[in-house]
């Protein structure tokens, strides 16, 4: 793209953003700050180190059509039912970036659980006010800035102190419109001290029209909180997603995230783990399975700023067709973060000659009394194993499927929720059929 | 059962088998012996359908069908079984799932529906006793973390589960201590019957103390240069392979 064309696109998009700036909530300062940041930095391009493998301008182009056109059709209870992952879970439904209480059915919230639309919560809820915008810093990334400028909805979930939430909380994102559209949902999940909960986010689309969901989620794991956070990215063939999740962990907390990128045209995940205290445990598990010309780009940062914390990251990928995957996992161990245990593993299987993986583990250690490791591997299916299976009468297709399933099992095994596991396994069966 | 005629095979352009002939009938046990590099393991691999080997000449008929025309999986489905010299570890695939998949793929080939789960479990229970295989091993990943002896016992266990017409044991005795050898041989002997044939490939005679063959063949330079009754194995043990090499080189 030439400099002039780039400038034109940038100014066009920015004036689009400014002209559609929603009525402000809060003091409006954040929105103005976001627009200023985008004006100064411009739309990210492949020249940006963090976006070098993908085409971020293309995504902002989808955003050009931030139409106010009506949704392709009314999302119905049947849709919501069809998108069930965990039977009996609390469902919080977000349609085109806006929390929809009537589809959500909030009449049976367990004690200790508060659910509010985010725009309402930042005005009326003290907990939301305390944490909103504190992790995902507007001026740290263009997609966060874009979201901050334009978000009009999303959901705030508060798990009160000492609440052992037996019912999983399912935040269901549904996107779909008549014209190509971008949505900017914003979520805040606060698990207070000594609480325990399972939060599942799933991302679905309706219809064949291009959508971009530019979602920003902030998570706070309070003291001794135990939080399992699932993210199932199962959008349709025209679904695009930039998923920014910033997590802050407190003393004694145990936060685990399971990220499954199983469909959709294009997925970018920016996952950031920050530390408010010592003695936390964080586990990051990810699986991406790609075919056709799909793109999945996983960026993660685990920023060990304090001593005595544990983090373990395991991501696996299976690529076929002409798909492209990126894994960039950064672990920082800052100078004061002694006695850190930080591990990272990324393993990939390429099933076709035209599939690509760019994997870049980054470990930067500034403390001297730590245990850290990282490893990455990329290969094809083991030919000897394949022959061994075939020599027992198992056909090529079934043998390959067995080996791929075995490869991903290590990640799927980490899912403690049986319903989520079954859902993922069924999806994988379809993908490898 | 199997009829091998003038078999030539090469790997990476190097000819290993140079006109091998062998006829094995149902119920028979044939031992193939020979010095290192004579082509014993190549024969086993070629028969099982490993694609690294190129058959350049000859024919192999298995149960009246052209074996060389079949994929590795179809050979297994037709009843050929290779007990690997070096069984492969497959992390993440349980032994049980692996065997169930194999049995069902073979059944599908024969036009049968999947095996009844109860029937399958009963079969597992029965057959793992044959080789004194711990039930826990059956639930573990295929060969992962198994000792050398456990791997070989697992091969025989798989053989018992798949009930082949022809079993080829490729150096099954290698790396086994005497106790493990006895267990493995005992398992094989229990599986001997008049409908099933065995080709036992081995470098040493000691396995043949336990699995007593009907015929012994000596492979040298890619050809069978001498055949005889089981006593031939003892003679080889005593005299080594040099006299065979000398004889063969004179004839050549």
For B81-105, the pLDDT digits (tens) are 999 999 999 998 999 999 999 999 9
What's the average model confidence in pLDDT over B222-234?
A: 93
**Which pLDDT value is given to residue A27?**
56
Please give the C-alpha separations between residue A95 and each of A78, A242, B244, in angstroms, as whole numbers. 14, 16, 82
pLDDT score of B41: 92
Please determine, for residue A380, whether its predicted confidence score (pLDDT) is greater than 90.
Answer: yes
B156 and chain A in contact, CB less than 8 A: no
- pLDDT for the residue numbered A64: 59
pLDDT for res A306 = 97
Q: What pLDDT does residue A20 have?
A: 60
Q: What is the pLDDT of residue A63?
A: 60
- Provide the percentage of residues in chain B whose pLDDT is more than 90: 77
Binned at pLDDT 50, 70 and 90, residue A1 comes out as very low
Closest to B38 in 3D by CA, of B226, B241, B220:
B220
pLDDT of B68 higher than 90: yes
Cβ atoms of B80 and B166 closer than 8 Å: yes
Chain B interface test: which of A318, A382, A393 (most B C-beta within 10 Å): A393
Return d(Cα B99, Cα B172) in angstroms, integer. 20
Is the predicted pLDDT of residue A104 greater than 50, yes or no?
A: yes
DSSP designation for A53: T
**For range A129-136, the mean pLDDT:** 93
Q: Where are the alpha helices (H) located in A364-395, listed in sequence order?
A: 383-390
pLDDT of residue B121: 93
Q: What is the pLDDT of residues A311-333, one digit of tens each?
A: 999 999 999 999 999 999 999 99
pLDDT for res A41: 87
- Record the pTM: 0.88
Q: Are A216 and A151 in contact (CB under 8 A)?
A: yes
pLDDT of A345 strictly over 50? yes
Residues facing A228 on adjacent strands? A198, A256
Tell me what the mean pLDDT of segment B40-62 comes to: 95
Q: Which residues of A are less than 8 Å from B49 in CB distance?
A: 390-391
pLDDT of residue A22: 59
Helical residues (DSSP H) of A118-217, grouped into ranges: 118-124, 126-131, 142-150
Question: Does residue B112 sit at the A interface (CB-CB below 8 Å)?
Answer: no
Taking an 8 Å cut-off on Cβ atoms, the answer to whether A392 and B87 are in contact is no
Report d(CA B89, CA A171) in Å as an integer. 41
Q: Which of B49, B53, B72, B161 to mutate to test the interface with A (most CBs of A within 10 A)?
A: B72
Mean pLDDT of A42-68: 75
- Is A390–B77 a contact, with Cβ atoms under 8 angstroms apart? no
For residue B108, pLDDT beyond 70: yes
Q: What is the pLDDT of residue B251?
A: 63
- Min Cα–Cα distance to chain A from B152, Å: 14
Q: So what's the pLDDT on residue A180?
A: 81
Confidence at residue A71, expressed as pLDDT on a 0 to 100 scale: 57
Q: Which of A95-109, A123-137, A156-170, A334-348 has the lowest mean pLDDT?
A: A95-109
pLDDT value at A21 more than 80? no
A393 confidence band (pLDDT: 50, 70, 90): very high
Contact B49 A410 (CB under 8 A): no
Structure confidence at residue A5 as a pLDDT band (50, 70, 90): low
**A381: helix, strand or coil:** coil
- Distance (Å) from the alpha carbon of A388 to chain B's nearest alpha carbon: 7
A390 Cα to chain B: minimum distance (Å): 5
Smallest CA–CA distance from B141 into chain A, residue: A406
More confident residue, A148 or A223: A223
Q: Do A406 and B90 touch (CB under 8 A)?
A: yes
What is the rounded average pLDDT of the residues A243-270? 97
Residue in B48, B103, B141 nearest the CB of A391? B48
Question: Is there a contact between B162 and A393 if contact means CB atoms under 8 Å apart?
Answer: yes
Closest CA to A86 of A430, A411, A414, A417: A417
**Which residue among A385, A393, A396 places its CB closest to the CB of B90?**
A385
Give the residue-averaged pLDDT of A357-381.
95
A-chain residues near B88 (CB < 8 A):
382, 384-385, 387-388
Helix (H) or strand (E) holding A258: strand A254-263
CA distance A406 to chain B (A): 4
Where do the H-state alpha helices sit in A42-76? 56-64
pLDDT above 60 for A68? no
Share of chain B above pLDDT 70, in %: 99
Give kind and range of the element (H or E) at residue B200.
strand B197-201
Nearest by CB to A393, from B51, B91, B102: name it: B102
What's chain A's average pLDDT? Answer: 90
* Choice among A113-117, A205-209, A349-353 with the minimum mean pLDDT: A205-209
At residue A65, the pLDDT reads 52
Give residue ranges of A with CB < 8 Å to any B CB: 382, 384-385, 387-396, 398-399, 402-403, 405-407, 409-410
Buried b (16+ CB within 10 A) or exposed e, A224-239: bbbbbbbbbbbbbebb
The DSSP bridge pattern shows strands B215-220 and B223-228 to be: antiparallel
- What A399-403 contacts at long range (C-beta under 8 Å, 24+ apart), as own/partner pairs, is A399/B73, A400/A351, A401/A432, A401/A433, A402/B93, A402/B97, A402/B98, A402/B101, A403/B90, A403/B93
Check if the beta carbon of residue A209 is closer than 8 Å to that of residue A72: yes
Query: How many CB pairs lie under 8 A apart between chains A and B?
Result: 74
Q: Suggest the residue from B51, B88, B89 to mutate for an interface test with chain A (most A CBs closer than 10 A).
A: B88
Grade residue A181 by pLDDT with cuts at 50, 70 and 90: confident
B190-223 residue pLDDT tens: 999 999 999 999 988 889 999 999 999 999 999 9
Helices B242-251 and B231-239 cross at an angle (nearest 10°) of 100
| Closest alpha carbon to B32 in B129, B139, B168 | B168
The arithmetic mean of pLDDT across residues A169-176, rounded, is 94
Residue A53 C-alpha from the chain's centroid: 18
Per-residue pLDDT band for A89 (boundaries 50, 70, 90) equals: very high
How far B50 CA sits from the closest chain A CA (Å)? Answer: 7
- Where helices occur in A42-135 by DSSP H, the ranges are 56-64, 77-82, 101-104, 118-124, 126-131
What value does the mean pLDDT take over residues A348-352?
96
- Asked if pLDDT for residue A66 goes beyond 70, the answer is no
| Higher-confidence position of A207 and A86 | A86
Q: What is the mean pLDDT of residues B217-231?
A: 94
Burial of residue A292 (number of CB atoms within 10 Å: 0-12, 13-18, 19+): exposed
Q: Where does the pLDDT of residue A53 fall: very low under 50, low under 70, confident under 90, or very high at 90 and above?
A: confident
Beta carbons of B73 and A405 less than 8 Å apart:
no
* Cα–Cα distance measured from residue A246 to residue A259, given in angstroms and rounded to the nearest whole number: 14
Average pLDDT over residues B165-188: 91
pLDDT of residue A25: 56
Quick one: pLDDT at residue A60? 77
- Contact between B92 and A388 using a beta-carbon 8 Å cutoff: no
Smallest CA–CA distance, residue A358 to chain B, in Å, is 25
Is the pLDDT at A278 greater than 80, yes or no?
yes
């Amino acid at each position: 793209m030439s400099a002039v064309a780039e400038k034109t696109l940038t100014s066009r998009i920015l004036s689009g953003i400014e002209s559609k700036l929603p009525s402000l909530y809060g003091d409006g300062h954040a929105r103005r700050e976001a627009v200023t940041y985008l004006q100064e930095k411009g739309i990210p391009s492949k020249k940006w180190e963090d976006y070098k493998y993908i085409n971020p301008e293309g995504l902002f182009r989808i955003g050009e059509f931030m139409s106010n056109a009506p949704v392709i059709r009314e999302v119905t209870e049947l849709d919501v039912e069809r998108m069930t992952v965990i039977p009996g879970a609390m469902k919080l439904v977000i349609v085109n970036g806006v929390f929809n209480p009537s589809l959500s059915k909030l009449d049976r919230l367990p004690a200790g659980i508060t659910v509010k639309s985010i725009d309402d919560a930042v005005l009326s809820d003290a907990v939301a006010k305390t944490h909103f915008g504190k992790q995902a810093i507007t001026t740290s990334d263009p997609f966060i800035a874009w979201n901050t400028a334009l978000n009009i909805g999303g959901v705030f979930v508060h798990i009160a102190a000492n609440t052992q939430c037996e019912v999983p909380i399912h935040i269901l994102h549904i996107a779909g419109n008549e014209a190509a559209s971008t949505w900017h949902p914003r979520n805040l999940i606060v698990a207070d001290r000594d609480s325990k909960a399972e939060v599942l986010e799933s991302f679905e689309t309706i219809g064949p029209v291009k959508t971009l969901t530019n979602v920003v989620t902030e998570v706070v794991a309070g003291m001794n909180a135990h939080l399992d956070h699932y993210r199932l990215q199962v959008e349709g063939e025209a679904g695009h997603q930039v998923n920014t999740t910033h997590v802050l962990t407190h003393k004694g907390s145990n936060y685990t995230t399971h990220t499954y990128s199983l469909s959709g045209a294009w997925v970018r995940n920016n996952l950031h783990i920050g530390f408010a205290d010592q003695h936390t445990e964080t586990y990051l598990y990810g699986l991406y399975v790609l075919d056709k010309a799909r793109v999945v780009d996983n960026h993660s940062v685990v920023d060990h700023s304090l001593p005595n914390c544990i983090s373990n990251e395991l991501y696996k990928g299976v690529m076929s067709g002409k798909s492209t995957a990126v894994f960039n996992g950064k672990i920082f161990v800052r100078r004061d973060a002694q006695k850190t245990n930080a591990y990272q593993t990324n393993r990939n299987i390429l099933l076709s000659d035209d599939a690509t993986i760019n994997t870049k583990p980054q470990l930067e250690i500034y403390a001297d009394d730590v245990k850290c490791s990282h490893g990455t591997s990329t290969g094809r299916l083991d030919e000897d194993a394949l022959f061994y299976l075939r020599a027992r009468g198992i056909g090529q297709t079934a043998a390959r499927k067995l080996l791929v399933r075995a490869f991903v099992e290590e990640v799927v095994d980490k899912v403690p929720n049986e319903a989520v596991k079954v859902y993922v396994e069924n999806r994988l069966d379809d993908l490898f059929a | 059962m199997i009829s091998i005629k003038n078999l030539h095979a090469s790997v990476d352009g190097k000819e290993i088998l140079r006109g091998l002939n062998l006829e094995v009938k149902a119920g028979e046990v044939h031992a193939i012996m020979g010095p290192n590099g004579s082509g014993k393991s190549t024969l086993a691999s070629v028969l099982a359908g490993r694609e690294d080997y190129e058959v350049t000449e000859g024919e192999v008929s298995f149960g009246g069908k052209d074996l060389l025309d079949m994929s590795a999986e179809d050979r297994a489905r037709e009843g050929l079984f290779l007990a690997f010299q070096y069984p492969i570890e497959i992390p993440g695939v349980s032994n049980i799932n692996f065997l169930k998949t194999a049995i069902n793929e073979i059944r599908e080939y024969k036009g049968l529906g999947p095996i009844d789960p109860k029937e399958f479990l009963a079969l597992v229970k029965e057959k793992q006793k044959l080789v004194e295989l711990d039930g826990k091993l059956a639930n573990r990943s295929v060969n992962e973390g198994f000792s050398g002896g456990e791997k070989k016992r697992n091969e025989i266990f798989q053989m018992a589960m798949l009930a082949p017409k022809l079993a080829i044991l490729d150096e099954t005795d290698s790396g086994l201590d005497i106790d493990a050898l006895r267990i493995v041989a005992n398992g094989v002997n229990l599986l001997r019957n008049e409908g099933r044939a065995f080709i036992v490939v081995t470098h040493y005679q000691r396995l043949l103390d336990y699995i007593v063959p009907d015929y012994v063949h000596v492979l040298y330079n890619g050809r069978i240069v001498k055949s005889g009754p089981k006593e031939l194995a003892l003679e080889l043990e005593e005299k080594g392979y040099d006299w065979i090499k000398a004889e063969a080189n004179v004839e050549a």
